Amino acid sequence: MKTRTVVMSLIIAASILSLTGCATGGTFVSGHMTEVQLQKNNFKIVARDLSGEAQAGYLFGSSFSVGMATNTFALVRVSGTGQLYKEALQNLWKSYEAANGPVEGKKIALVNVRYDAEALNLFIYTQPKIVVRADVIEFTE
């Protein structure tokens, strides 16, 4: 009887731990408060098809993407910070600065922004990856 109680307690504890593990997800919803008209000839394209990417690795989970949202449900993160959209955008800007210098003081904007997501799902390991691509324009007026 005592062994059965211990086994049941272990099963309940394992069930609770599996249901309360780490979960991470990212949905990038962009809201624009500023409207920019690109109808005039007051800008030039300074960079085309820049990209930035980010990924993270997790144990005991699964990742999937639907549209612009990438979600991961896992117990343990083993690599990356989990802030994939933020890191991908930061890496995109680093790519711009490597080719064009610092962004400070410039009148620039990202246009034609695209998001690609992929996920590697193995039996005990999952790795979501986000790639952000965009063109950069600079306003002349």
- Coil vs helix vs strand at 83: coil
For 103-137, what is each residue's pLDDT tens digit? 898 889 988 999 999 999 998 999 999 999 999 99
| Closest C-alpha among 65, 56, 53 to residue 22 | 56
Q: How far apart are CA 96 and CA 102, in angstroms?
A: 8
What integer pLDDT is reported at residue 19 of this predicted model? 45
What is the phi/psi pair of residue 10, to 5°? -65, -40
Q: Could you give the 3-state DSSP secondary structure of residue 26?
A: strand
Give strand pairing partners of 117: 130
Q: What's the predicted TM-score (pTM) here?
A: 0.69
- The percentage of the chain sitting over the pLDDT mark of 90, rounded to a whole number, equals 40
Predicted confidence at residue 8, as pLDDT, reads 64
Averaged pLDDT, 35-44: 74
| pLDDT given for residue 53 in this prediction | 94
Residue-range domain boundaries for the chain: 22-139
Residue with tokens 């324009």: 137
- What's the per-residue H, E or C state across 31-50? CCCCCCCCCCCCEEEEEEEE
- Identify the helix (H) or strand (E) that includes residue 60: strand 57-66
Residue 94 Ramachandran class (φ > 0 left, ψ -120 to 50 alpha, else beta): alpha
